[in-house]
Amino acid sequence: MPVVSLPGTASNTFQQARAASNPLGWTDDKILETVYITHVHTAERYDVESLFNLTSNIIKRSTAVADSVAVQTGTPVGLIEDKILVSSFDPPFRKMKHIASQMMSTPHGEHHAHETAMSILEQLKTYTWDGKAIFALAAFALEYGNFWHLVQVPSADHLGRSLAQMNRVHTIEKNRQAIADYNSLVKNLLHAVECITELERLSTKGYDTKDVPALIEAMQEIPVAVYWAIVTTVICANHIDFLMGDS
């Protein structure tokens, strides 16, 4: 007997399948199930605090420079208080550079951002949850900070001026509003990652969950928050051409 499709059934099925494959439509439970299998528990702990302090310093100063260009307001760079750095800290430059390149070359679109985020989670599977978000943000800061540092290169620095031209920093004057919007997203991303690190820190302090019952629920949400932080970082990285007015 031939199968008779009811009107609209095929299109409804297609829409449901499309929604299921779109990470933006996933529930928190679905995201948690997907990202948790990438995580490997290990006693080894990388110095993510030093990496976050370094990353925070770069992003805060970069966004201050960007504000001075885009909206000509905000905190003057000279008034920014840097986090204290450990002089012996040796950042994982090659790995950060690899992930930065991977993020920047990701095609636009939520599905591509999801795939890159999952790849990053797999590469960082032995890191703590906050460490994963910090590492992705640090990889982005490497490129974002370099760009805004070149904006400030003095005219007498001939090598710096050549590098600035190579990075097309001269185009930012034509793209103030896009820079302001982009910069706002980067600030919010840094704040989100800072909240994740604070929750992770609180979870290791040995608080009795009877005294802080909300901590259990918050800790269960951390992997989901880390996933969205990395997806957002990927989107920031693969839209960095906004700064040059290319998108």
d(Cα 169, Cα 150) in Å, to the nearest integer?
7
How large is the angle between the packed helices 48-70 and 129-151, nearest 10 degrees? 40
d(Cα 184, Cα 177) in Å, to the nearest integer?
11
- pTM reported for the whole predicted model: 0.84
Q: Quick: pLDDT tens for 164-203.
A: 888 888 777 777 788 888 999 999 999 999 999 988 887 7
User: Mean per-residue pLDDT for 93-107?
Assistant: 95
Nearest Cα to Cα of residue 182 among 244, 89, 226, 129: 244
Q: Quick: pLDDT tens for 210-241.
A: 666 677 777 788 999 999 999 999 999 999 88
Token pair in block for residue 42: 């290990």
Nearest Cα to Cα of residue 148 among 176, 128, 172, 132: 172
**Main-chain phi, psi angles of 218, to 5 degrees:** -65, -40
